[in-house]
Structures are given as C-alpha cells and as structure tokens.
Amino acid sequence: MSRFTLRFIPLLALFFALSAVARSDSFQITFTGIGSGTGQFTTDDVCTMCSPGAGLLTWLVEVGPDTGPNAFDITDDGIATMTITYERLTNSFDSIGTFNSENNDFFILHSTLTWSLSSLQGDFSGTYTVAPVASTPEPSTLLLLFLSALALASGMAWRRKTPYVTVLSTPAANPW
C-alpha cells in the first residue's frame, strides 16, 4: 500500500465518523369508515410537530370521491394545507380543515384519529391509522463528493507511480 493511500485512511475514517446520514420517514395512512381511502406522507425525521414548511415534506390523501387528480396534497392545495400537523409522539394528525383546490371539498383530521370530509357527493367520516413504511437512508452529499475526490486523487497517485517507458527505435536498415 502506498504512502499516499495510508495518508487518506485516517481522513476517510474521520469523515465517515463525522458525516450524518440524510434520512426521511415515510408513512402510510389508512382511512376506514364511510368512504375509505389511503394516503402517504414523509417527514424530515427530525420534527416532533411536523407541518408543511416545518418537517412535513410530502402529504397526499385519497379518500372518498377525492382520488387521482382530485386528491388532497400539499403540492397544489397550497395555503389550505398549512394547518395540517403531524404529531410524532401520538402518531396522529390535527387540522382545522383544508380545502381541495380542484373541487372545494373540505377535509378535517382530528387528533382523536378520526376524519371527516364534506363534498358535493355527500359527507364521509371514519377513523384513520398511521403506519411507518420501511425507509432507506440516503448517503450525504458530502460523502459522495468526498468519495469522488478520493477516487480522483487515487487515480492521479497511481498514474504518478506508474513509470513512463519510452521506447527508442532506430530505423530499420535498408536491405537494398
């Protein structure tokens, strides 16, 4: 093993020890009762009271007639979803209600694990459960950059170590 490689092993070990792994939590929501459905959301794995802009990264709910492009979500329902809060300790949601931007349906989540939906098709309600989905940790960006730099430096060191051989040739004698 070259001295160059031996110099980088302690740095690599220090970098791995100090680098944080970027993670996010994924959850599945199941709605039962009059008008069932499903949903999913992700958090930043840090927040205890998660809301849009404060740890709640994604949130999508398909319940009753609000499915497909009419689903409730924090992407296009905008300011109407700002009152949604996920409490990690009780594994429940709380919301004063959110309007669906596609059809103006009104959806409420209660911290008592119940929900209600008012729409032109009628009123729906029931209970919900939240279950975690197995997550895969993602490598930190700094780790990927460091490994790329290490590979580049190792390649440069290997090239420096490889001797350059120059073959001198003399012109062949003319047999004529």
Q: Does 176 map to a domain?
A: no
> Is-contact 123 117, C-beta < 8 A?
yes
102 in helix, strand or coil? Answer: coil
Q: Does 52 map to a domain?
A: yes
Q: Does 104 map to a domain?
A: yes
* Whole-number pLDDT of residue 97: 87
Domain that holds residue 101: 26-133
Q: Does 34 map to a domain?
A: yes
Distance CA 92, CA 99 (A): 20
Q: What is the count of structural domains for the chain?
A: 1
Give me the sign of the Cα torsion angle 71, 119, 80, 93: negative
Q: Does 63 map to a domain?
A: yes
Q: Does 147 map to a domain?
A: no
| pTM score above 0.75 | no
* Whole-number pLDDT of residue 112: 94
Q: Does 128 map to a domain?
A: yes
Per-residue model confidence as pLDDT tens digits over 70-125: 899 888 887 767 889 999 999 999 988 888 888 889 999 999 999 999 998 999 99
Instruction: Name the band, by pLDDT with cuts 50, 70 and 90, for residue 151.
Output: confident
Residue-wise DSSP of 18-72: HPPPB--EEEEEEEEEES-EEEEEEE-SS-SEEEETBEEEEEEEEETTB-GGG-E
DSSP type of residue 119: E
Query: Averaged over 117-138, what is the pLDDT?
Result: 85
Q: Does 96 map to a domain?
A: yes
